[in-house]
C-alpha cells in the first residue's frame, strides 16, 4: 500500500542551527513531491515541489532549500534557522494530481 512517512513529529531548534526534515514515500514510483508550511491558524503555503530526482521548484524565496536525492525521498533543509521558520511543515505526494496524500507533519519551533 502507499504510505508517506515524515519525521520528526516535533522539533525545537535554536536560532542559527541547521535543519533537516525528511519525507519518504512507499508504494509508488515517480511521485510528485511537495513541501508545505502552515503558520499557526493559517492556510498552507507551498514551499517546494519536485517532479523528479534532482528537480526542485521553489515557490517562495526564503531561508530554506529542498533536495530530492532519490525517487521517493524529499528533504527540507536550512543552514541557519530563523525565528520566522517556525511552523507546521507538511510533506505530500501525488501521482496524478487528482489526489494528494499528506504526511502527518512536523511541528518546528525555533527558539
Partner 1 sequence: SQQGEEDPQALSIQEGENATMNCSYKTSINNLQWYRQNSGRGLVHLILIRSNEREKHSGRLRVTLDTSKKSSSLLITASRAADTASYFCATDGGGSEKLVFGKGTKLTVNP
Give min distance, CB of 4 to partner 1, in A.
9
Contact 63, 80 (CB under 8 A): yes
Residues 33-52 close enough to bind partner 1 by CB under 8 A:
34, 36, 42-46, 49, 51
| Phi and psi at residue 84, to the nearest 5° | -70, -5
> Quick one: 5 or 80, whose CB is closer to partner 1?
5
Which of 86, 33, 90 has its CA nearest to residue 63?
86
Residue span binding partner 1 (CB under 8 A) among the ranges 11-19, 21-29, 74-82, 102-110: 102-110
7 sits near partner 1 (criterion: CB under 8 A): no
Write out the E strands in 1-111: 3-7, 10-13, 19-26, 32-38, 44-52, 55-58, 65-70, 73-78, 87-94, 101-102, 106-110
The three cell numbers of residue 22 are 525528511
Residues 58-97 close enough to bind partner 1 by CB under 8 A:
59, 88, 90, 92, 94, 97
- Binds partner 1 by CB under 8 A, chosen from 63, 70, 104, 109: 104
Sites of contact with partner 1 (CB under 8 A): 6, 32, 34, 36, 42-46, 49, 51, 57, 59, 88, 90, 92, 94, 97-105, 107
Amino acid at each position: 500500500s502507499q504510505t508517506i512517512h515524515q519525521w520528526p513529529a516535533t522539533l525545537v531548534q535554536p536560532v542559527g542551527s541547521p535543519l533537516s526534515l525528511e519525507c519518504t514515500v512507499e508504494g509508488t514510483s515517480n511521485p510528485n513531491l511537495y513541501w508545505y508550511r502552515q503558520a499557526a491558524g493559517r492556510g498552507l503555503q507551498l514551499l517546494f515541489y519536485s517532479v523528479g530526482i534532482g528537480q526542485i521548484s521553489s515557490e517562495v524565496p526564503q531561508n530554506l532549500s529542498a533536495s530530492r536525492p532519490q525517487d521517493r525521498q524529499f528533504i527540507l533543509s536550512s543552514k541557519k534557522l530563523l525565528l520566522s521558520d517556525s511552523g507546521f511543515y507538511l510533506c505530500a505526494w501525488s501521482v496524478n494530481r487528482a489526489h494528494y496524500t499528506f504526511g502527518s507533519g512536523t511541528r518546528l519551533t525555533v527558539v
